[in-house]
Amino acid sequence: MSIPWADIGTVSTAGLSAIATWGAWLAARRSAKTAETVARVERQRWHADLTPQFNVTIERGEGHRATLSVRLVGPVPLRRLDEIAVRIVSSDDMDRTARLPGGPTQEELDAQVWGPFRFTDGADGADADGQAVAPFALEVGTGRPFSIERTRHPHWQVGPDAERHWRDQWVNEPMRLVLTCRREEFEPWVVPCEVEVPGDVRVRWLN
């Protein structure tokens, strides 16, 4: 019986060709995956480098009101933010989960601003609870003022000294904010911020 060497050679060539093709596909896949990983790392680095930088201050106002100034100071390559959403969060780290029967509900606890200031009702698109204002845009180097007012004690805290105790609770606490920032073609940035209450404002409000 003769051995079909020509056929064997053809099969061998085809097998080697298939192996070469598979190897090239595998190499291309690995290369694409590496390129994708590098691109992802680069996007994350660029996103981190462009994290918005703010200068946020409180200035004394009239009566129980003051002015919160939010200024976008950098980084310069960021150029602008299409939308900034500012929200007031608790000035302390207390866990306020409704637990007591007959006490305030979780909805009531969440609606209360736990800190020295809230956004002024009816100003700057503030919500009913005074926790947030309408989103706005800024370019680097520009800012916006917002009207804020002293918070009032919750309605479930009663007694002749309720307001005084509430005021004393926040006298040395900062105003805490979370700024959620968006710009086209980028993932959002979430920037926490603590704003010191100036001494002249604290003294005035204690009077």
> What does the pLDDT look like over 2-39, one tens digit per residue?
556 555 555 556 556 667 777 777 776 776 666 676 66
CA distance 128 to 188: 25
> What does the pLDDT look like over 125-169, one tens digit per residue?
999 999 999 999 999 999 999 999 999 999 999 999 999 999 999
- The residue ranges of every structural domain in the chain are 1-49, 52-206
Tokens describing residue 60: 């004394």
> What is the chain written as a DSSP string?
----HHHHHHHHHHHHHHHHHHHHHHHHHHHHHHHHHHHHHHHHHHHHHT--EEEEEEEE-STTEEEEEEEEEE-GGG-EEEEEEEEEE-SS-------STTS--HHHHHHS--SSEEEPTTSTT--TTSSB---EEEETT-EEEEEEEE----TT--STTHHHHHHHHTTTPPEEEEEEEE-TTS--EEEEEEEPPPHHHHHHHH-
Residues 56 and 177 sit within 8 Å (Cβ to Cβ): yes
What lies within 8 Å, CB to CB, of 20 at 6+ separation is none
pTM greater than the 0.75 cutoff? yes
**CATH of span 52-206:** 2.60.40
Across all residues in the chain, what is the average pLDDT? 88
> What does the pLDDT look like over 66-99, one tens digit per residue?
999 999 999 999 999 999 999 999 999 999 999 8
Per the DSSP assignment, residues forming a β-bridge with 74 are 53
* End-to-end Cα separation, the chain, in angstroms: 115
